[in-house]
């Protein structure tokens, strides 16, 4: 019984803000508010950049998780600590660090810009970079723990059958850790979708190019409360549409 009470308190704590939001929502004005290009631009940008960031995170993060979980390379604990760092840093600090690295006068960004004219900040790629920076740890750590829990002997069996490291990863290891993989990707996507501090500091804010939903909400709060609430509801709705169908089926098993 006490367990249920504690759980119910937790749910209530999470639920009440959403109810307050719904109660203040300008339901009658919602359709016209949502038709504003600001909303569609921000939503499109948010979903696209979060998805791209998750794809990048998977491409880089899954091998990284494998190295952390299965290899015996020296310095793994250092690498793991570095991977965890973006989760601990305030996102704005992360954004500032990204600027120092990839800005126009940055360590890497400077030479890159002088040589090719390519610039990460103030473009959607800057948004993707910022999102990936903050969301990658979620993917890596989740997949790493899944790999640790999985039985490595299946990989031995695959090796005796002549499978290359890449084939083993693709056909044996990954299917085995699929639940962790899905959980990690979802967490990564959700984190990227909600990212604000690093994005605004690194990529800037421009409607249609770098203004994601969280940015739009923040600015709308300054001038048009109702628009802010409308935008928030859209963001919540999109998140629910993605998160709710993923319950149970892929998280467990």
Partner 1 sequence: MTNPVRLLASVLVLAVLAVPLAGCGRDDDGVRAITVFGAASLTDALTELGHAFEAANPDVRIEFSFAGSSSLREQILAGAPADVFASANEENMDLLVEVGAVRTPVDIASNRLAIVVPDGNPAGVRSLDDFADSSYLVGLCAVEVPCGDFARQAFARAGVEPAPDTEEPDVRSLLTKVAAGDLDAGIVYETDVRTADATVDGIEIPAAENVVVTYPIAVVTGSGDVTLAEEFVAFILSPEGFGILRRLGFGSP
Partner 2 sequence: MVGSLMLAADLDVTIGPLHLDAALRVDDGEVVALLGPNGAGKTTALRTIAGLLALDGGCIVLDGRVLDEPSSRTFVPTAQRHVGFVFQDHLLFPRMTALDNVAFGLRAQGTGRAESATAAHAWLERLGLAAVAGTKPDALSGGQAQRVALARALATEPRLLLLDEPLAALDASTRVQVRTELRRHLATFGGARLLVTHDPVDALVLADRLVIIEDGRIAQQGLPAHVTAHPASRYVAELVGINLLHGDASGERTVRLASGAELTVADPLPGATVAVAIRPQALALHRHRPDGSPRNAWEGVVSDIEADRDRVRVTLSGPVPVTAEVTAAAVADLELVPGAAVWVSVKAVDLTTYLD
Binding to partner 2 (CB under 8 A) within 162-191 occurs at 162-165, 167, 171-172, 175-176
71 is an interface residue for partner 2 by CB under 8 A? no
Name which of partner 1, partner 2, none residue 46 binds, using a CB cut-off of 5 to 8 Å depending on partner kind: none
Give the torsion through C-alpha atoms of 133, 134, 137, 138, to 10 deg.
Answer: -140
| Cα–Cα distance list, 187 to 92, 137, 193, 233 (Å) | 20, 10, 10, 20
Minimal distance, residue 130 CB to partner 2, in Å? 36
Q: Which of 24, 44, 82, 156 binds partner 2 (CB under 8 A)?
A: 156
Q: Count interface residues toward partner 2 (CB under 8 A).
A: 17
Return d(Cα 2, Cα 13) in angstroms, integer.
17
Name which of partner 1, partner 2, none residue 156 binds, using a CB cut-off of 5 to 8 Å depending on partner kind: partner 2
Name which of partner 2, partner 1, none residue 230 binds, using a CB cut-off of 5 to 8 Å depending on partner kind: none
Q: Are 231 and 219 in contact (CB under 8 A)?
A: no
- State the alpha helices, DSSP H only, in the chain: 2-24, 30-35, 37-70, 76-88, 91-102, 109-116, 124-149, 153-160, 165-168, 174-176, 178-194, 197-202, 213-223, 225-243
149 is an interface residue for partner 2 by CB under 8 A? no
Interface positions with partner 1 (CB under 8 A): 2, 5-6, 99, 103-105, 119, 121-122, 200-201, 203-207, 210-211, 215, 218-225
Residue among 60, 173, 146 at smallest CA distance from 164: 173
Report the SS3 class of residue 216.
Answer: helix
Name which of partner 1, partner 2, none residue 201 binds, using a CB cut-off of 5 to 8 Å depending on partner kind: partner 1
Name which of partner 1, partner 2, none residue 99 binds, using a CB cut-off of 5 to 8 Å depending on partner kind: partner 1
Minimal distance, residue 69 CB to partner 1, in Å? 38
Return d(Cα 157, Cα 162) in angstroms, integer.
9
251 is an interface residue for partner 2 by CB under 8 A? no
Name which of partner 1, partner 2, none residue 68 binds, using a CB cut-off of 5 to 8 Å depending on partner kind: none
Minimal distance, residue 109 CB to partner 1, in Å? 9
DSSP string computed for 171-208: IIIHHHTHHHHHHHHHHHHHHHHH--HHHHHHT---TT
Minimal distance, residue 19 CB to partner 1, in Å? 18
Q: Are 93 and 130 in contact (CB under 8 A)?
A: no
31 is an interface residue for partner 2 by CB under 8 A? no
154 is an interface residue for partner 2 by CB under 8 A? yes
Which residues in this chain contact partner 2 in the complex, by CB under 8 A? 153-154, 156-165, 167, 171-172, 175-176
């Amino acid at each position: 019984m006490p367990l249920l009470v504690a759980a119910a308190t937790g749910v209530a704590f999470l639920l009440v803000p959403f109810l307050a939001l719904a109660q203040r929502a300008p339901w009658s004005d919602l359709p016209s508010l949502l038709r504003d290009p600001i909303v569609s631009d921000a939503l499109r940008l948010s979903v696209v950049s979060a998805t791209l960031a998750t794809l990048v995170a998977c491409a880089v993060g899954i091998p990284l998780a494998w190295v952390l979980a299965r290899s015996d390379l020296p310095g793994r604990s250092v690498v793991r600590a570095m991977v965890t760092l973006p989760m601990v840093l305030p996102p704005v600090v992360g954004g500032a660090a990204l600027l120092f690295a990839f800005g126009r006068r940055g360590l890497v960004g400077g030479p890159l810009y002088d040589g090719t004219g390519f610039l990460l900040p103030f473009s959607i790629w800057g948004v993707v970079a910022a999102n990936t920076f903050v969301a990658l740890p979620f993917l890596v750590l989740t997949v790493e723990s899944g790999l640790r829990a999985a039985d490595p002997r299946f990989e031995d069996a695959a090796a005796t059958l002549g499978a290359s490291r890449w084939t083993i990863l693709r056909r044996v290891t990954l299917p085995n850790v699929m639940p962790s993989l899905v959980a990690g990707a979802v967490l990564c996507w959700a984190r990227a979708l909600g990212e604000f501090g690093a994005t605004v500091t690194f990529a800037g804010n421009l409607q249609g190019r770098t203004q994601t939903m969280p940015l739009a909400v923040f600015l709308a709060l300054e001038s048009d409360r109702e628009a802010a609430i409308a935008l928030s509801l859209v963001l919540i709705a999109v998140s629910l549409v993605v998160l709710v169908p993923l319950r149970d089926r892929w998280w467990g098993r």
